[in-house]
């Protein structure tokens, strides 16, 4: 049958050819018919002979990721260089743009919101926010891994998602969002997949405490026209939020500072085998060049970074705590005494 049909058609066309009264259009039509039949027969033929297996093999071979060359990348860097293939879009001309994986590991009210907006002002960075603030995503390690896979495959959507030319992808992860609880598995994941950790801590844990208490207060009080804001974009708004002076329970103060300290130290210990950098909020605020270290750490092109965030608590601590005298007397002579004095210039 396969050989028979084309012959028949050819005979037809041979018969038609001599008679000159048929216009060119008709000739074209016949030609097209012959071609379509040919293709149809080919498809039939392939189907009947069980060729699909072969064509699958061909497909798989073509789908195999084209290895991207890494010119100039030292051998030691190779584990940290990735070429993700998102399932939802193509990276097009940036398919061979190397992508670095990172995670900002921090604690609430340590400047990570501000830091993340700085990073996201870079055209090649997508830092997707506090994705593990949603409980289901961190309810067990398989949920965590599934979420991480999606992020690092460039399939996570957030307002920070950039174009296909993203060169560093990450998010921020608070220590109390499953990170410490599942640290063994997470360290393993980071090391296997070449994820770099950016620790962001605050040196003055007393200031952090003030910020936590003030933020907790605003969650209920909603001081800005009835909405709660964790971060603000204007001095006026910042001043409204800074007006509230929290009272610190001095019974628990030293114990709580110790606990915060320990968490940071434990996190560093757990992740010491992971490629990482440790940053302090105070250093970033005081020395703007410090942010450039992060770009270097992520091997990103230098850019000027900016954020619209406005710092809320800018006054000396003594002006920002209701029961300052009690706090002062509690910390005086302890290992945390320096927190009482260490104020940075704004």
Q: What residue ranges bind ligand NAG (CB under 6 A)?
A: 97, 123-124, 136, 139-140, 142-143, 163, 165, 167, 224-225, 237, 240, 249, 251-252, 301
Q: What is the DSSP letter of 22?
A: S
Cβ atoms of 274 and 188 closer than 8 Å: no
Sign of the C-alpha dihedral, residues 63, 188, 299, 304? positive
Torsion angle, alpha carbons of 266, 267, 269, 273, to 10: 160
Count of Cβ atoms closer than 10 Å to residue 308 Cβ: 11
In the complex with ligand NAG, the residue whose CB is nearer, 107 or 238, is: 238
In the complex with ligand NAG, the residue whose CB is nearer, 7 or 159, is: 159
In the complex with ligand NAG, the residue whose CB is nearer, 95 or 224, is: 224
In the complex with ligand NAG, the residue whose CB is nearer, 117 or 124, is: 124
Residues 6+ apart with CB under 8 A from 50: none
Shortest distance in whole angstroms from residue 266 CB to ligand NAG: 23
151's tokens: 């992020």
Shortest distance in whole angstroms from residue 312 CB to ligand NAG: 13
Diameter of the chain measured on Cα atoms: 114
Please state, in angstroms and rounded to a whole number, the distance separating the CA atoms of residues 160 and 115. 13
Cβ atoms of 6 and 37 closer than 8 Å: yes
Shortest distance in whole angstroms from residue 60 CB to ligand NAG: 29
In the complex with ligand NAG, the residue whose CB is nearer, 183 or 203, is: 183
In the complex with ligand NAG, the residue whose CB is nearer, 77 or 237, is: 237
Shortest distance in whole angstroms from residue 213 CB to ligand NAG: 12
Please state, in angstroms and rounded to a whole number, the distance separating the CA atoms of residues 282 and 202. 7
Provide the 3-class DSSP secondary structure of residue 103. Answer: strand
Shortest distance in whole angstroms from residue 286 CB to ligand NAG: 28
Q: What is the DSSP letter of 229?
A: -
Shortest distance in whole angstroms from residue 184 CB to ligand NAG: 16
In the complex with ligand NAG, the residue whose CB is nearer, 18 or 226, is: 226
Cβ atoms of 344 and 285 closer than 8 Å: yes
Please state, in angstroms and rounded to a whole number, the distance separating the CA atoms of residues 186 and 94. 29
Shortest distance in whole angstroms from residue 255 CB to ligand NAG: 9
Shortest distance in whole angstroms from residue 148 CB to ligand NAG: 14
In the complex with ligand NAG, the residue whose CB is nearer, 206 or 267, is: 206
Q: Can you spell out the DSSP letters for 282-324?
A: HHHHH-TTHHHHHHHHTTPPP-------B-S--S-GGGT-TTH
């Amino acid at each position: 049958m396969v050989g028979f049909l084309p012959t028949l058609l050819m005979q037809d066309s041979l018969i038609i050819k001599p008679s000159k009264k048929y216009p060119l259009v008709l000739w074209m039509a016949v030609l097209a018919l012959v071609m379509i039949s040919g293709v149809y027969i080919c498809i039939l033929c392939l189907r009947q002979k069980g060729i699909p297996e072969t064509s699958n093999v061909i497909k798989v071979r073509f789908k195999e990721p084209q290895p991207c060359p890494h010119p100039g990348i030292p051998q030691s860097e190779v584990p940290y260089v990735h070429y993700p293939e998102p399932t939802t879009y193509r990276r097009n001309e940036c398919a061979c743009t190397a992508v670095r994986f990172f995670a900002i590991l921090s604690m609430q009210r340590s400047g990570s919101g501000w830091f993340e907006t700085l990073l996201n002002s870079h055209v090649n960075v997508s830092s997707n926010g506090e994705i593990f603030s949603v409980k289901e995503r961190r309810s067990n390690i398989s949920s965590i891994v599934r979420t991480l896979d999606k992020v690092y495959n460039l399939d996570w959507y957030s307002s920070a998602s950039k174009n296909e030319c993203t060169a560093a992808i990450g998010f921020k992860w608070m220590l109390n969002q499953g990170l410490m609880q599942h640290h063994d598995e997470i360290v393993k994941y980071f090391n296997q997949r070449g994820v770099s950790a950016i620790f962001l801590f605050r040196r003055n844990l007393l200031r952090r405490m003030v910020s936590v208490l003030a933020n907790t207060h605003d969650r209920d009080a909603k001081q800005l026209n009835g909405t709660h804001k964790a971060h603000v974009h204007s001095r006026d708004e910042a001043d409204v939020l800074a007006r509230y002076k929290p009272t610190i329970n001095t019974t628990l103060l030293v114990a709580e500072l110790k606990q915060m300290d320990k968490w940071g130290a434990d996190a560093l210990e757990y992740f010491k085998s992971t490629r990482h950098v440790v940053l302090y909020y105070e250093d970033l605020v005081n020395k703007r060049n410090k942010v450039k270290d992060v770009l270097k750490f992520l091997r990103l092109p230098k850019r000027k970074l900016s954020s619209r965030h406005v710092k809320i608590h800018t006054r000396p601590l003594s002006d920002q705590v209701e029961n300052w005298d009690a706090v002062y007397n509690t910390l005086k002579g302890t290992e945390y005494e320096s927190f009482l004095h260490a104020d940075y210039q704004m």
